[in-house]
Amino acid sequence: MPYTYILRCRDHMLYVGSTYDLERRIAEHNAGLGAEFTVRRLPVRLAYAEEHQTIDDAYRREKQIQGWSRAKREALIAGDFERLHDLSRRRGKRAP
């Protein structure tokens, strides 16, 4: 099953990706075989993941989340959908 995922890096930066095999991909990141972004920030840990029907769906969702602010990503990770909705309505305005 394809996944979109968010990793929290050692320095608390967030990395968004997509994959067919979530466990293998996280292991690759932690082995230094992932994206250059995560290689410099090891170790990483899974903060969020969601399943999709196709890898194309997972990739589209990855690109969507990559365009979000950190506040929106953190709301998604926390499962705070009310805040996520509020942040989506603000579009470009800073959250309190």
pLDDT tens readout for residues 45-91:
999 999 999 999 999 999 999 999 999 999 999 999 999 989 887 66
* % of the chain at pLDDT higher than 70: 93
Q: What is the pLDDT of residue 47?
A: 98
- What is the mean predicted confidence (pLDDT) over 5-20? 97
Burial class (CB in 10 A: 0-12, 13-18, 19+), 34: buried
- As its CATH architecture, domain 3-67 has 3-Layer(aba) Sandwich (3.40)
Q: What is this structure's pTM?
A: 0.89
Where does 10-95 show beta strands of DSSP type E? 14-19, 44-51
Q: What is d(CA 90, CA 96) in angstroms, rounded to the nearest whole number?
A: 11
* Segments making up each domain of the chain, as ranges: 3-67
